[in-house]
Amino acid sequence: PQPIYRHDYRQPDYWIDKVELAVDLHDDVTIVRSILQIRRNKDTASEGQPLVLNGEKLTLKEIALNGQPLPESAYQVDREALIIFSVPDHFELSTVVAIKPHENTELVGLYQSNGNYCTQCEAESFRRITYFLDRPDVMATYSTTISADKARYPVLLSNGNRVATGELENNRHWVRWEDPFRKPSYLFALVAGQLVCHHGTFKTMSGREIRLEIWVEPQNIDKCEHALLSLQKAMQWDEQTFGLEYDLDVYMIVAVNDFNMGAMENKGLNVFNSKFVLCRPDTATDDDYEDIEAVIAHEYFHNWTGNRVTCRDWFQLTLKEGLTVYRDQRFTADMTDFALKRIRDVKKLRTLQFAEDQGPMAHPIRPESYIEMNNFYTITVYEKGAEVVRLYETLLGKEGFAKGLARYFEKHDGQAVTCDDFRVAMAEANQIDLTPLDRWYSQAGTPVCEVRGRYDAEQMTYTLQVTQSRAPTPAVQPAFMPCLIPIRVSLFDPKGQALPLQLADENVPIGEERLLSLSETQQQFIFVNIPQEPVLSFLRGFSAPVQVKMQRPREHLAFLMAHDNDSFNRWDAGQILAQELLLNLAQDWAAGRELKLDPLFIQSFGKILTDSRLNPSLKAMAMMLPDEKFLGQQIEPIDVDALYEARSFMTRVLARTFRRELLALYQQYHSTSPYSNSRSAIDARRLKNTVLRHFLTALQDEEVIALIGQQFQHADNMTDMQAALSCLMELEIPEREQALQQFYGRWQHDPLVLDKWFALQASSSLPKTLDRVLSLASHPDFNLRNPNRVRSLIWTFCSLNQVRFHSADGRAYKFLAELVLELDRLNPQLASRLVGAFNQWRRFDKLRRNLMESQLNTIIAQPNLSTDVYEIVSRSLN
Ligand code: B3K
Ligand code: ZN
């Protein structure tokens, strides 16, 4: 397979202005008639240039140009294209193709889920529905007529407004939809099935009433209210924050069980993984509720950032995804808690995106090349992309950012544009040069800032020396060029007071927090009139997506844990301290030395436990020790056993030392009143369950086991029930299997809850987990065709359960490789995600490295490998 390069972009030779589709759904075959209004692009194509339309897995039945059937000599069809050798400047092209949605296991194009039809066209799957110029810069208006059996497919949906309906012979009916907005083909959607609707309305700021419809299978109708509320909140937030109003009369969301990703922002007709729609207190956790609100908002926000203004080509994906993730992050922060949201986002970025940067898939947020575009819907494009958008906010302020965004829409509404266009609009609106941000788009890898602070008592100055370089990446990258890195800093005196900050060239102090701009490889910042040696709080709020390296006494970290007035940095100080100790403990364990925990840490941890001013969710966050996967990234080779033992040791010491306080916290926050989803109830559940799951369970004593059992038996909500069950997963006691059986018996008919049952077992750190996973893979409820089920068992185990997946006998590696190959024949997109669990293979010890490499070699040697899996594995082996 050949890569495609960003620099090879050129406009298409033809434009398509109008699309009329007629889709006839039948059991054995689906017939798609399309009429396209096409015109030559005078800027690129000379007269008579052939027309090359994309098309895959289509059977061409008829073809006519301006109403005249084309002779076979006038065109050519191959696996990927339809070529018409000679066409006029303006013309109408009609085609009829046959497709087989019921045989589609890849879940792209038109496919079936639970007997209903749905589509997924992003990035390049509209071409599996009809012949088309399937690229985002070709924007057209669509009219779609769907016909199907009336009893089995009473509901027929597509983008835009329903304009006509009618009856046909043989108990069939039809519905016509028209979408007045020009859109790229990847935003096309069609749904047909037995669905019911939970609806509501929203009155926009200009007074229009929008109908909101959540479409689900009948048994799920009582699980839609939260999704509807989330949509209403998102619509209101976007009006208030950015003045952005919805543009059609109806907004539809359809929940389907079989979906490769989270959701899809098709114009006016979002198709969602049911996981991000359906919830009820007894079936979904607080985190599920929060995820649903965030994904609903994310897809809604795409209507402006993605749909009204879209991407010129797929290399620009972060233009819509980075920006929309940034917007959903801000939304969630406003709906919940700013610091909490920031901590969660940064945790995810550091654990997953920094790892991607250090592995074979390292790429800039705007990639330079790809073989399979679907492989580039990555944490780098999304989450690092969002951090880069946040840099604009940091530099311009919230108002300047909003001004820039308004300018972006003013200039580009209705267009397909680039990341450069976004940066230019931001710069113009704020009359500032933002070209220095360009390197964030073009360079792969994580910048590393090395920091040294020096206090001069005589001069009363504090000098900050900062350098930037790039963390090593295995993939070959051009030389690193320094980036513009905005760094927020504060200095504290020994009492915990933030000091007024005056730089050497300033006359007076300006505030207690400063934004420094690091743009050179090395820079120094001198603060004057500093009366005594201060404690530095660096990169506050994580003001740029960089790694920080700094030598500092543990006492400074403990001090910041107690005193920093930036909630993010207060949390971070605790994490850095814990990380340092855990890595030392892991070394001690590996060397057979006795393990001892630094009393300074025990003391600081105790302060957090008993700090009554701390919001309980933040307290829970602060108590959590860095996870094994994150710790693994800090050392080479990754010693999974040592990290596991070190972390278990630290947990046990803390749990024993603070047994009384922890039990008291548990009791304090364990509510006896019925479930509520108020913020305070959610906070309470978070703290209580963190205490139980991550500390008390380690004690394995009778009192704790009794608490877990009671919580499991009496929980009136899934948050508490799942938490209790996850505690049991760590315990080798009879109650464990009883609870699993009970849970299965109660929930076997609810696929989303059953996913939890699989995931919980796969996440257990007990040694027998691998065998359990192997046997669950042949459980009657395990199903390779359902991505949620595959992810819940396989991804949970292979990616999240570091110590058990990397068991030294290599059995888990073999299991994954075999599964990837089997899955690749059904669903390459999903297979290629899973095989990514091997991406870090070079960072492990020789034994594991060899075992993983040999599995990767087995995979790549397979004939007929999908381009998806091929690209990931070949990059990994290179
Ligand atoms: N835009 C979709 C993702 C499409 C993935 C295609 N493989 C969902 C989202 O980011 O909102
Ligand atoms: Zn998105």
Write the pLDDT tens digit of every residue in 723-733.
999 999 999 99
CB of 265 closer than 6 A to ligand 1? yes
Task: Report how far ligand 2's centroid is from the alpha carbon of 21 (Å).
Answer: 26
What whole-number distance in Å separates Cα of residue 210 and Cα of residue 230? 15
311-442: which CATH topology? Answer: Neutral Protease; domain 2 (1.10.390)
Six token digits for residue 739: 């609870």
Q: Is the pLDDT of residue 601 over 90?
A: yes
Average pLDDT score over residue span 684-701 = 98
CB of 833 closer than 6 A to ligand 1? no
Cα–Cα nearest to 385, from 297, 475, 311: 311
pLDDT recorded at residue 45: 87
CATH class assigned to 195-308: alpha beta
CB of 286 closer than 6 A to ligand 1? no
For residue 430, give every residue at least 6 positions away whose Cβ sits within 8 Å of its Cβ, in sequence order, or none: 396, 400, 403, 404
Residue among 128, 183, 265 whose CB has most ligand 1 atoms within 8 A, to mutate:
265
CB of 233 closer than 8 Å to CB of 287: no
Closest atom of ligand 1 to CA, residue 299 = 11
Q: Give the single-character DSSP code of 413.
A: T
What whole-number distance in Å separates Cα of residue 273 and Cα of residue 263? 6
pLDDT recorded at residue 363: 96
**Superfamily (CATH H level) for 748-878:** Peptidase M1, alanyl aminopeptidase, C-terminal domain (1.25.50.10)
pLDDT tens figures, 279-294: 999 999 999 999 999 9
What whole-number distance in Å separates Cα of residue 166 and Cα of residue 172? 9
CB of 643 closer than 8 Å to CB of 586: yes
Give the active site residues.
Answer: 299
Provide the whole-model pTM.
0.99
Closest atom of ligand 1 to CA, residue 295 = 11
Torsions phi, psi for 614 (to 5 deg) = -75, 130
447-563: which CATH topology? Answer: Immunoglobulin-like (2.60.40)
pLDDT tens figures, 784-829: 999 999 999 999 999 999 999 999 999 999 999 999 999 999 999 9
What whole-number distance in Å separates Cα of residue 480 and Cα of residue 468? 10
Domain with CATH 1.25.50.10 in the chain: 748-878
Domain with CATH 3.30.2010.30 in the chain: 195-308
Q: Name the 3-class secondary structure at 369.
A: strand
3.90.105.10, 2.60.40.1730, 3.30.565.10, 2.30.110.10: CATH of 14-192: 2.60.40.1730
Percent of the chain with pLDDT over 70: 100
- Exposure b/e, 542-553, CB count within 10 A at least 16 = b: bbbbbbbeeebe
Average pLDDT score over residue span 542-559 = 98
Question: For 810, how many CA atoms within 13 A lie in the half-sphere containing its CB?
Answer: 16
Six token digits for residue 137: 């810069």
**Residue bearing the CA closest to ligand 1, atom 5:** 122
For residue 754, give every residue at least 6 positions away whose Cβ sits within 8 Å of its Cβ, in sequence order, or none: 744, 747, 748, 781, 789
Q: Is the pLDDT of residue 219 over 90?
A: yes
Average pLDDT score over residue span 241-258 = 98
Asked if the peptide bond before residue 123 counts as cis, ω within 30 degrees of 0, the response is yes
What whole-number distance in Å separates Cα of residue 157 and Cα of residue 222? 21
**Residue bearing the CA closest to ligand 1, atom 9:** 264
pLDDT tens figures, 828-853: 999 999 999 999 999 999 999 999 99
Mean pLDDT of the chain: 98
pLDDT recorded at residue 671: 82
pLDDT recorded at residue 474: 73
Domain with CATH 2.60.40.1840 in the chain: 447-563
**Residue bearing the CA closest to ligand 1, atom 2:** 264
Six token digits for residue 181: 């907005």
pLDDT recorded at residue 478: 83
CB of 829 closer than 8 Å to CB of 821: no
pLDDT tens figures, 53-62: 999 999 999 9
What whole-number distance in Å separates Cα of residue 30 and Cα of residue 102? 9
CB of 299 closer than 6 A to ligand 1? yes
What whole-number distance in Å separates Cα of residue 141 and Cα of residue 16? 9
Task: Report how far ligand 2's centroid is from the alpha carbon of 140 (Å).
Answer: 21
Cα–Cα nearest to 665, from 706, 631, 614: 614
Domain with CATH 2.60.40.1730 in the chain: 14-192
pLDDT tens figures, 615-670: 999 999 999 999 999 999 999 999 999 999 999 999 999 999 999 999 999 999 99
Residue among 106, 122, 185 whose CB has most ligand 1 atoms within 8 A, to mutate:
122
Long-range pairs for 330-338: beta carbons < 8 A, 24 or more residues apart: 330/241, 331/233, 331/234, 331/237, 331/241, 331/294, 331/297, 331/301, 332/290, 332/293, 332/294, 332/297, 334/237, 334/241, 335/233, 335/237, 335/293, 336/290, 336/679, 337/615, 337/617, 337/618, 338/567
Task: Report how far ligand 1's centroid is from the alpha carbon of 861 (Å).
Answer: 30
Q: Is the pLDDT of residue 476 over 80?
A: no
CB of 254 closer than 8 Å to CB of 261: no
- Exposure b/e, 112-138, CB count within 10 A at least 16 = b: bbeebbbbbbbbbbbbbbbbbbbbbbb
Q: Give the CA distances from residue 811 to residues 16, 604, 764, 791, 852, in Å, rounded to whole numbers and listed in that order.
A: 52, 41, 17, 19, 10
Above 0.95 for ipTM, yes or no? yes
CB of 672 closer than 8 Å to CB of 714: no
Question: For 133, how many CA atoms within 13 A lie in the half-sphere containing its CB?
Answer: 28
Six token digits for residue 366: 């705007």
pLDDT tens figures, 182-212: 999 999 999 999 999 999 999 999 999 999 9
Give strand ranges (E) for 56-138: 59-65, 68-69, 75-77, 81-84, 90-99, 109-113, 116-120
